[in-house]
Structure 1
Amino acid sequence: MMVPHRPLPRRVRRSLAPLLAVLLLLAATPAGAAPGDPETRVTYENPVTDGFSDTYADPAVIQGKDGWWYVYATADPLVSGGDFGLMHMARTRDWVDWEYLGTIFDESDKPGYAAQDALLWAPDIRYVDGRYVLYFTVTDTVLNDGPDTAIGVATSPRPEGPFTVAPEPIVEPRPREEGEGFVGTIDPAGFTDADGQNYLYFGAYDGGFWGAEVSDDGLSVTGEHTRLTVGDRYEGGYVVRHDDWYYFMGSSANCCAGPTTGYTVSSGRSRSPLGPFVDDTGQSLLDPYVGGTNVIHQNGNEFIGVGHHAVATDVTGRDWMVYHGIDRGRPWLEEPFGVNRRPTLIDPIDWIDGWPRVRAGAGPSAGPQVPPVTESALGIVSDDPAAGGTRGLVAGPADPLGGETARLHGSARTAARAPEGRVRVRLDVTRLDRPVSVTLGARRDSVVATVDPRAGTLAVATTSGRATEVVTDRYAVAPAWQTLVLEVDGPEVLAQVSESDLSDPAAEVRVTRGGLDLPSAPVRLRGGGAVLDNLTVAEPAVEATETVPVPEPGAEILTEDFDSTDLEGWSWVRQNADARVSGGALSWPVEEGELVGPENPAGVLLRDAPSDEDWMVETRLELDLDVREEQNFQQAGLVVYRDDDDFARLSKVAIGGTRQVEFGRERPEADDLSYGGSIVGRPGRDQTWLRIAHHLNADGEHLYRAATSHDGESWTWGAVWTFEPGEAPRIGLVSQGGARPEVTARFAYLRFHETTWPSSEVPRS
């Protein structure tokens, strides 16, 4: 069907809106696939890198000016039986089919300051000042005696390299303020602010995460180091800008503990790229009672240890987390307790109430999923815009970065009309000597975004009726490729200009224009002599507005208020004579011993679970872990206990100078024991509430999900640990981890409730 070019009455345009939406979807759907039909649409399935690798960890991502998505990974062996590489490169156009490109470096061009046995980890990629800038970790250098870590930097004119290493680290090894040795200087991530200022973030559990201003070319630190997080909590940090907020997202707990890996990603936000960052409860990431709002955690399917991520944005404006995870059924690359098999996974992010949630809080996906949208609607050939779909564009020069390009002389317009009300346009543009504009809508309802290199501005003009309003943002127009985005979603208008297009715009204008009623119309481009590429038109993504359900307490099954000294219904494993009921609570001095490891001197107080059905257990804990004293690993809380070597423990715990809630798991593994943990929310200073929900899945496995609260009202739900089929573990309490300084845990009650275990799947659109 041909869409008329003559303007239609608004009532007719509204009647055509559903048809236009279908046409737009058809244009973005691969040939032979039925739009919206999950049986025939092209899908991806995690892990996305399985086609060419066994492990592909710590992924970094950027869309090259040639239209490919490039993904870089850390220096583990690519496949079982392979050698450690000097980091890896691969690329994809659609996140379904992949091409492996080789290692980033080899022995001839690796950093000269790297020690002989040093590995290169955790790459981050940016497009800065007309070239690609790669940051990476060097695990040991020749700059000091003894082990140290540093951040290296390299550049290339192309995303696939070759990369030329700078002769010195951009961040050198950092000595400890007290004592010998060096703090962790790993896991770099770049960022560009809306004023054009570049930043670099780096750090580790050992010393915390930090940020600093970086030069215009991205190759040297120009500002003081600013601490963003307390130590002992975050690594793998990444910063994005969204709705005028800056979000720090970092990974916590174990990256690499095989079948007990509990990596998770949490976030905090700030009005400044250097913080302070606070979570959704208002808790600072610098507070010893560490804050952090859940972004992703394992949900009970095959994937555990999900974290160390980057963020990519598809042509609909949907953000995607690109991260690694571990298949709990195949955790090792080769031998147990060797290299972990950590392939790359991807899943969409929903921004809900101002916070990033992967799949609306459902966690990693398993099974066929709808991939990121990477192609344009309206018949546009995105990586060769002059080839079709747009009138007025002519073939541009073959570009070393962009490949086939189009030149914009005067004006151009799409041959088909964009749908009314909701449109997103993205294009890469260079040779910006004169203003370039993108226009959506027509006549009395339109939006025009204009990049003016002479004035150094990004301007957005919105017209509704007869009134036009103009909002501008100033920035330094770079001579190289830039990405321009214009999105209209009802009354909300967003325009951005960036170099990397990694949620780090160098200029941004947001407008809310009441009464704006964008009609269906061709997308119009105007400019003199500019070269453009990767032109896409799409409907903006529709995201979830609420998180997926979490377990809620139902009818009470059993309550223990600790009003009887005989502890009827309870039994001890290694009874502690000093634990007693008094004052309406169970008082239990923290014991010297531990459950973790082959020796288990610590006591455990147990009772039977109420049933094999869905249920929830809760306790309120008082435990004063004074941060002024060294109380490392002192803890108390709930335990899911099959035996001394097969348990999950949810406890408030001292970890270095922090106080956290850890959901730890120990289980037998290859004639040994494997232990790891996942972090859940934050503890209260005086009282902490703990919950564990139980579910028996279709395979007979026992699933346990943890939650915590610092006030007894707002709850944070976290990771799921799985126990093999068989007799249900018992439920109990522990108080352990070190007898000095003396501290006593007080449990106010233990309550079992009925509950419903919600599905971890988000309905596919």
Structure 2
Amino acid sequence: MTHRTTRPRRTAALAALVLVLTAGALAPAQAAGPRRQEETPAATEYTNPVTAGFSDTYADPAVIRGKDGWWYLYATSDPLVEGGEFGLMHVSRSRDLVDWEYVDTIFDEDTRPGWATATSFFWAPDIRYVDGQYVLYYTVTDTVLNAGDDSAIGAATAPTPTGPWTPTEEPVVPPRPDGGGFLWTFDPSMLATDDGTRYLYYGSYYGGLWVSELDETGLRAVGEATQVAVNDKFEGAYVLERDGWYYLMASSANCCAGPSTGYSVFAGRSQSPLGPFVDHEGVSLLDTRPGGTQVLVQNGNRWIGAGHHAVVTDLSGQDWILYHAIDREDPWLAEPGGVNRRPTLMDRLDWVDGWPVTRGGAGPSEGPQPGPVSGSLLGLTVTDPAEGNVLRGSYRADTDPQSGGHALLRGRVWTREAAPQEVHVELDLRTRQPDPFVLRLGRGSNQVEVSVDPGRRELHVEYGHGRFQEEVTAAIPPGYDLSVWTALQVHLVEGEVRARLSESRLGDVVAEVALDLRPGVLRSAPLEMVGRGAHVDNLSVNAAHEPVTTPVAEPQAGDVLLEEEFTDADLAGWEWVRQDAGARVEGGALVWPVGAGDLVGPGGTGGVLLHEPPEGDWIVETRMTLDLGDTEVRNYQQGGLIVHADDDTFLRLGHVAIWNTRQVEFGKEVRQDGFLSWGGHTSGPPADTTWLRIHHTTNDAGEHLYRSALSTDGQTWRWGATWTLPAGTDARVGLYTGGGASPATEAVFDYVRFLSVT
């Protein structure tokens, strides 16, 4: 719980502590006069995929910053390189989140969990720091506990991010029977909250997403599980806390369909870690017409199938999303056959109107990009603050098995140079003393002071103006052990200071406070720290990142170029492929019974009604009413828009029944590398009457790019994935239905319009 007060300054106790600590301490050297620090750490630059230096594929990435200052990246058990063997999960490391080096597998045949079958795969690791040790959660696809594929969630512990790993003797979440089979218990993701509770999220399409509370060790699920997302829509959950909201981000659609993979990431949020999670329009992720705000989606460049992600924050406070994706021109590992080539990519994660979105909505990057901030200003050696005589005051160098070299504070310590006015400070802290650790930024009556008080078990922030101060305090959970390394992050910008304690720096919160600042409070000054017996490591001081808060522009419709309002029963200008005798023009609409035919697979049987599109860029739109019921299984009745070159080369955007759900799907079928491949992107929730749009443009290579959108009111649009067709493709555009004749239903198309793009 956080509380805030405004009252006369209460600094006497802390001032006395400073006097006591410095009275008999080492005599501090004279500090250089404070000055504005304008330099920035050497800029990093990267080009996706970031794992290209050591692997062809590195899927389902999970990331953490170790207490030794390295970032560590974990991946599922696919072969690393073409012709390689399946590993038992992988780990690599980097100093800057850009240049990665391979370390090892997590398990070998002697250390793998004994309750996994010999043929089990190990998927989707999730890495956390829990009570002074590293915990890796992972999927076991088959256990010895039951007959048949009975997936479960396992865990392994280690003193360092690279092991040695000791698997638990039993699953954290055991297999979950469901009639004659088992629910898919995949893709774990842990979250620690500020009341001291830890949660584990898991699940997949068959059964949906769930969350269970973990016991105090973090190694066993306890109590009743809570469902947080509907089945047949999401997998790869990842949850973080921001500004009082819990954000559940998860991937949707097929991860691994080669050149037609439409995997992408969506989000919902809740003020409880147990949900319900809803999107920006208030649609629940539990709805059978499931919601989800788009976080990451393919944009028509090289990368498709972008998903199964993790989020990490750099040393300026900027968030980054790491995820796997597929090169649409090179989607497979030739050996062993059938394995999708899914390297790890990284891009900036922005927050726009309270929602996470990759590169402001631009999606996966291709080509050189500005990279994360991974160093520090003020001459600090991040991984050893005691090095280089950069700090002044009373401290000494110390070492620790987990962190290595660091500084042991014995009183007041300060930097030689001034920190930026708008600043992001990070450090790892551990202490066995009851005395507070204090961090100060600014000067005089406008100084901002952050204290971690083990005795009072409080995280406290205050700043003063004249005779008065503003302050805010949050409780540190009673069971939390401050004698193990804990991350402290302080983000100070004009108008606000925010301080957070966390175990893993992964959107988890031990305690957090935020305090509004009066205008003009910020002053450039050296960073000060005060502590007796406080160990400090991984100290960085950087200019606070400049957040991107404006989304990239979306296609805007202009004038009508061509319109069909279905008043002509002869459908002049249109051409049928396999005409459906039941389709008819009636009452100013095209009424088309949904039949059993389908285009997917060899030898398409579904009917298609097509028209030549205009030249250049355009948007095609239709309004369609289609009653597919509520939750009964009606696989895969559908109708909507289609871009059709031939029966093996097409895109279709439709309202479709997928098991118990109703979704808008933008799918692609293509023949490539000798295979006929179908996959789709699931865009969002349809209504009985749904507006559908496809935006067409071309790129510099002459390829055709088609982007999907849907609306349930004809005014507000959800833009989704982009598919491409080769340059020179002669595709027509129109309507389709199909997927199942029973129960009987009809799609009613009110119009088709081709619109200019403004």
User: Which residue among 718, 743, 750 is the counterpart of 1:748?
Assistant: 750
SS at match of 1:360: helix
Residues 409 and 536 of structure 2 are in contact (CA less than 8 Å); yes or no, is this contact kept in structure 1? yes
SS at match of 1:444: helix
In the alignment, does 2:338 pair up with 1:323?
no
Q: Which residue pairs with 1:619 in the alignment? A: 622
What's the offset of the Cα at 1:516?
A: 5.2
Q: Which residue pairs with 1:10 in the alignment? A: none
In the alignment, does 2:401 pair up with 1:400?
yes
Q: Which amino acid aligns with 1:670?
A: D
What's the offset of the Cα at 1:545?
A: 1.5
Q: Which residue pairs with 2:163 in the alignment? A: 161
What's the offset of the Cα at 1:270?
A: 0.2
Q: Which residue pairs with 2:603 in the alignment? A: 599
Q: Which residue pairs with 1:368 in the alignment? A: 368
SS at match of 2:592: strand
Residues 44 and 95 of structure 1 are in contact (CA less than 8 Å); yes or no, is this contact kept in structure 2? no
1:362-406 Cα shifts (integer Å, max 9, x gaps): 000010111110111111111110113321264432211111111
Structure 2: runs of 5+ lacking an equivalent: 1-29
1:382-438 Cα shifts (integer Å, max 9, x gaps): 111011332126443221111111111111111111122x11111001124121011
Q: Which amino acid aligns with 2:724?
A: T
SS at match of 1:577: coil
What's the offset of the Cα at 1:485?
A: 1.2
In 1, the alpha carbon distance for the partners of 2:320 and 2:131 equals 25
What's the offset of the Cα at 1:337?
A: 6.1
Residues 464 and 516 of structure 1 are in contact (CA less than 8 Å); yes or no, is this contact kept in structure 2? no
In 2, the alpha carbon distance for the partners of 1:486 and 1:226 equals 33
TM-score (norm 1): 0.93
Distance 1:714 1:432, change over 3 A: farther
Residues 395 and 411 of structure 2 are in contact (CA less than 8 Å); yes or no, is this contact kept in structure 1? no
Greater Cα shift, 215-224 or 345-354: 215-224
What pairs with 1:333-412 in structure 2 (closer than 5 Å)? 333-334=333-334, 338-388=338-388, 389-392=390-393, 394-412=395-413
What is the identity percentage for the equivalent residue pairs of Structure 1 and Structure 2? 53
Distance 1:63 1:628, change over 3 A: closer
Q: Which residue pairs with 2:671 in the alignment? A: 668
1:236-283 Cα shifts (integer Å, max 9, x gaps): 010011111000000000100001111000000000011000000100
Distance 1:620 1:393, change over 3 A: farther
What's the offset of the Cα at 1:42?
A: 3.6
Q: Which residue pairs with 2:494 in the alignment? A: 490
Residues 44 and 372 of structure 2 are in contact (CA less than 8 Å); yes or no, is this contact kept in structure 1? no
Greater Cα shift, 283-292 or 459-468: 459-468
In the alignment, does 2:568 pair up with 1:553?
no
User: Which residue among 69, 74, 77 is the counterpart of 1:72?
Assistant: 74
Q: Which residue pairs with 2:239 in the alignment? A: 239
What's the offset of the Cα at 1:336?
A: 9.2
In 2, the alpha carbon distance for the partners of 1:328 and 1:184 equals 28
SS at match of 2:386: helix
1:598-648 Cα shifts (integer Å, max 9, x gaps): 12111000000111x111100111011102432111110000100000000
How many pairs were matched up?
724
SS at match of 2:324: strand
In the alignment, does 2:656 pair up with 1:653?
yes
Q: Which amino acid aligns with 1:157?
A: P
Q: Which residue pairs with 2:592 in the alignment? A: 588
What's the offset of the Cα at 1:95?
A: 2.1
Q: Which residue pairs with 2:568 in the alignment? A: 564
Residues 444 and 465 of structure 1 are in contact (CA less than 8 Å); yes or no, is this contact kept in structure 2? yes
Greater Cα shift, 470-479 or 63-72: 470-479
Q: Which amino acid aligns with 2:581?
A: A
In the alignment, does 2:270 pair up with 1:255?
no
In 2, the alpha carbon distance for the partners of 1:107 and 1:98 equals 26
In 1, the alpha carbon distance for the partners of 2:624 and 2:264 equals 24
Residues 609 and 728 of structure 1 are in contact (CA less than 8 Å); yes or no, is this contact kept in structure 2? no
In 2, the alpha carbon distance for the partners of 1:646 and 1:221 equals 47
In 2, the alpha carbon distance for the partners of 1:399 and 1:4 equals 28
What pairs with 1:464-543 in structure 2 (closer than 5 Å)? 464-476=465-477, 477-478=480-481, 479-515=483-519, 517-543=521-547
User: Which residue among 120, 123, 126 is the counterpart of 2:122?
Assistant: 120
In 2, the alpha carbon distance for the partners of 1:395 and 1:236 equals 44
Q: Which amino acid aligns with 2:664?
A: V
What's the offset of the Cα at 1:714?
A: 1.1
Structure 1: runs of 5+ lacking an equivalent: 8-15, 30-40, 757-765
Q: Which amino acid aligns with 1:397?
A: D
User: Which residue among 636, 640, 649 is the counterpart of 1:637?
Assistant: 640
Residues 280 and 293 of structure 1 are in contact (CA less than 8 Å); yes or no, is this contact kept in structure 2? yes
Q: Which residue pairs with 2:61 in the alignment? A: 59
Greater Cα shift, 77-86 or 215-224: 215-224
Q: Which residue pairs with 1:300 in the alignment? A: 300
TM-score (norm 2): 0.94
SS at match of 1:683: coil
Greater Cα shift, 516-525 or 313-322: 516-525
Q: Which residue pairs with 1:199 in the alignment? A: 199
In 2, the alpha carbon distance for the partners of 1:523 and 1:710 equals 53
What pairs with 1:417-436 in structure 2 (closer than 5 Å)? 417-420=418-421, 422-433=422-433, 434-436=435-437
Distance 1:521 1:515, change over 3 A: same
Residues 619 and 691 of structure 1 are in contact (CA less than 8 Å); yes or no, is this contact kept in structure 2? yes
In 2, the alpha carbon distance for the partners of 1:735 and 1:336 equals 37
Q: Which amino acid aligns with 1:237?
A: A
User: Which residue among 710, 713, 719 is the counterpart of 1:711?
Assistant: 713
What's the offset of the Cα at 1:213?
A: 1.0
Residues 681 and 717 of structure 1 are in contact (CA less than 8 Å); yes or no, is this contact kept in structure 2? no
What's the offset of the Cα at 1:670?
A: 2.9
What's the offset of the Cα at 1:47?
A: 0.2
In 2, the alpha carbon distance for the partners of 1:574 and 1:439 equals 75
SS at match of 1:259: helix
SS at match of 2:259: helix
Q: Which residue pairs with 2:736 in the alignment? A: 734
What's the offset of the Cα at 1:727?
A: 3.5
In 1, the alpha carbon distance for the partners of 2:748 and 2:702 equals 35
Residues 153 and 188 of structure 2 are in contact (CA less than 8 Å); yes or no, is this contact kept in structure 1? yes
Q: Which residue pairs with 2:414 in the alignment? A: 413
Q: In angstroms, what is the RMSD of aligned CA positions?
A: 1.4
Q: Which has the higher contact order (CA 8 A, sep 6+)?
A: 2
